[in-house]
Amino acid sequence: MFLLALFLSLSLRINDRWQQSEQDRLQTELSYLKAQINPHFLFNTLNSIYSLAIEKSDATADAIVQLSSFMRYVIRDAQNDLVPLKKELDYIEQYVALQKIRLDDTVQLQYSNQGQASQQKIAPLLLISFIENAFKYGVNPEGRSEIIIRVRVDEHQLRLFVFNQKVRLIPSDENAGGIGLRNTKARLELLYPDRHDLHIQDTENTFTIELTLKL
C-alpha cells in the first residue's frame, strides 16, 4: 500500500509538471506569433501613410490620427490574452477606413459588420491578417479591383468572410497567404483548437477565406 501511494504521488507530480511545461510552451509560442504579427501590421500601415504624404494628400493628418489609435490598441490592449470583441472590430474598422483613404476609387471595397458585439471576448489581432492579406494581393494602382469583407456576430459565434481578386503578381517562392496568414492559422490552432472552422479557397484569380469562430 505504501509503494502504491508513493507511485500515485509521483505520477500526479510528474503529470502536474508536464501540464505546466506544456502551458509554458504554448504561452511562449503564442507570444512569438504575436510578436511577428504586430510589426508586420504597423509596417504596412506606415507604408500607407507614407504614400499619402508623398501625394501631399489632405487625408494624411486623418491617417496619422488613425495610426495613433492603432498604436494605443496594440500597446495597451492587445498585450492581454483576451480583449473585448467590440475593440477588435473597431480596430478592423479603423484599418479599413485608412485603406479607403489611401486607395480612393482604385478598389471597389465592400465592408459590412452585422450583429451586436457586447460582452464577447476574442484573442487580439486574430482577424486582421486575413484582411491585410486581401489588401496586399488585391490592390493594383493601375487597374480596378474588388475586395469584400463581411463580419457577422451572433451571441457565441463570429463569422468572417474575406474575398479579393488577385491583381498583384506573386513570386513563385511566395504564396497568397504570407507570414501573417500562416501565423494566424497557428494561433487559431493553439487558442481555438476545437472552436474554429477555417476554409480557404485559392484559385488562379481569386482568394477567399471563410472563418467561423466560437467565442
Which of residues 60 and 23 earns the better pLDDT score? 60
Q: Does residue 162 carry a pLDDT above 60? A: yes
Averaged pLDDT score across all residues of the chain: 79
pLDDT band of residue 24 (cuts 50, 70, 90) is: low
Average pLDDT over residues 185-193: 90
Strands (E), the chain: 83-84, 107-115, 121-122, 145-153, 157-165, 196-202, 206-214
Residue 118 Cα to chain centre, angstroms:
20
> How far apart are the C-alpha atoms of 198 and 123, rounded to whole Å?
16
Q: Give whole-number Cα distances, 16 to 4, 21, 62, in Å.
A: 18, 9, 52
Write the DSSP symbol of residue 165. Answer: E
- For residue 149, give the H/E element and its range: strand 145-153
Residue 160 identity = L
- For residue 116, give the H/E element and its range: none
SS3 of residue 5 by DSSP: helix
Can you give the pTM of this predicted structure? 0.76
Q: Does residue 38 carry a pLDDT above 70? A: no
Q: Which residues contact 58 (CB under 8 A, 6 or more apart)?
A: none
Phi, psi of 160 (to 5 degrees): -125, 130
Each residue of 105-152: pLDDT tens digit?
A: 778 899 999 988 888 999 988 898 899 889 888 887 677 789 999 999
Provide, rounded to the nearest whole percent, the portion of the chain with pLDDT above 70. Answer: 73
Q: So what's the pLDDT on residue 173?
A: 45
**Nine cell digits for residue 61:** 493628418
**Nine cell digits for residue 169:** 503578381
Which of residues 33 and 140 earns the better pLDDT score? 140
Average pLDDT over residues 74-95: 86
Write the DSSP symbol of residue 199. Answer: E
Is the Cβ–Cβ distance between 198 and 210 less than 8 Å? yes
Number of Cβ atoms within 10 Å of the Cβ of 19? 10
> How far apart are the C-alpha atoms of 197 and 214, rounded to whole Å?
9
Average pLDDT over residues 174-199: 81
